[in-house]
Amino acid sequence: MTASSLLSVPTLSADDKPTALLPAPPAYGYLRVPVDVPDRRARELELAVIRFAESRSLNFVSFFFDSDFGVRGGFTELVAELVRANARHVVVPSLRHLARHARLQDAMQDRLVLDAGAEVHAVWHSEAGCRERWVSGSAGADA
């Protein structure tokens, strides 16, 4: 291969359309990690969230954390960052990272939607069955 062939500009026919590369939409992670959870387990959750985001063609940006249920400082910062960055995607390991109870999970998801226009993506959907049973009126679904 000659230097001139490396430097030549390809020609486009009238039918060729240039394609613009669009950046992947940004995504943020939210985890609730109690202080007694081993660092190794927290890191496994972080990696699962990052892999999930990337598998959905999202550009993972950063994590926000809270340590106890009822504490929402990290969640409040997440909402503010979503608004600031005009980001629309939040990835959680499961909806239980938002809250233990289905009603509170719904309220926190509503806040993300209403305040930031964001969608929540859960890596694992184990709570979906519980939430469906709870919505239909069965007892014991707020596990």
pLDDT in tens, 41-72: 999 999 999 999 999 999 999 999 999 877 89
- The reported pLDDT for the residue numbered 22 is 79
- The reported pLDDT for the residue numbered 14 is 60
pLDDT in tens, 1-33: 554 545 555 555 666 665 557 789 999 999 999
- The reported pLDDT for the residue numbered 54 is 97
CA dihedral 109, 115, 121, 127 (to 10 degrees): 0
Structural domains of the chain ordered from first start: 26-135 (3.40.50.1390)
pLDDT in tens, 101-118: 999 999 999 999 999 999
Are the beta carbons of 89 and 116 closer than 8 angstroms? no
